[in-house]
Amino acid sequence: MCVTTKKVVLFSVLSLFINAAVCNMSEAAGKPEVKVPEATAPQGSGQVEPIAAAEKKVEVTDASFRCLHKMTKVGNMYVDNLLGDLEGTLAVAKSSAGGVYPAGSVVQLLPTEVMIKREKGANDETNDWEFFVLEVSPEGSKIKQRGFNPPVKNMLGSCISCHKQVAPQADMVCAAGQGCPPIVFPGGIDNAKLISALQKTDKRCPSPEPPTPEEMAELIKLKKMLEAQAAAAAAAAGQP
């Protein structure tokens, strides 16, 4: 079934992060702030002519990403804008009527999964959103997957499969709660606590608030479940 596949994919994305998050949490919390370079404007040919924001190309590299706690929190999401138009991004993110996010918008729920609004016309099917899966460490961010649709890898295909179900006025942003299939973790895991734990264990910088013991318990529950799944898969692969 479609939803089951999505869950599995989502877990595999999370598993990398969670393993490290649980192990390194106390370590990361005590670390000095890691400076992730600010996203730079697109590198042009040195021309001095000003380019209207709407025409700027949104260049995305490892250095474009920042720790969640350096971004601006709106509800459950963290937002940013690579072209300096944070105001434009915030206006849509905070609007109950929704709207179209401006080019350069960065939105995140988890440290390792990102949507970035590319320049107009970049991809009609995704409303110009590009999906990213990152690996994060105290040293910064590394892009593991990126693409629109069809995706480079299955993992990204699953991003669009949920996010495209959002009502048009919410511009594929699931947090708006308008038609996106929910993320459901099996095994009685409390979604809200787990998401909060993942946010607070972004390894790129310390969180203003540490995860509560209850939130950590959900993270550990998920980690154990993923380990059990991996062990079962390995055992099955070893069968003649």
Nearer to ligand HEC, 29 or 90 (CB): 90
CB of 173 to ligand HEC, least distance (A): 4
DSSP code of residue 181:
P
Q: Which residues contact 168 (CB under 8 A, 6 or more apart)?
A: none
Nearer to ligand HEC, 82 or 107 (CB): 107
Distance, CA of 2 to CA of 157 (rounded, Å)? 12
- The footprint of ligand HEC (CB under 6 A) covers 6, 10, 13, 76-77, 107-109, 113-115, 131-133, 155-156, 158-159, 162-163, 173-175, 180-183, 195
Nearest to 104 by CA among 137, 148, 67, 55: 55
CB of 228 to ligand HEC, least distance (A): 21
Cis peptide before 150 (omega within 30 of 0): yes
CB of 65 to ligand HEC, least distance (A): 12
Nearer to ligand HEC, 51 or 152 (CB): 152
What's the full length of the chain, in residues?
240
CB of 230 to ligand HEC, least distance (A): 19
CB of 139 to ligand HEC, least distance (A): 21
Nearer to ligand HEC, 31 or 146 (CB): 146
Q: What are phi and psi of 74, to 5 degrees?
A: -130, 110
Decide: helix, strand or coil at residue 58.
Answer: coil
* Nearest-10 Cα torsion for 12, 195, 222, 115: 0
Nearer to ligand HEC, 108 or 207 (CB): 108
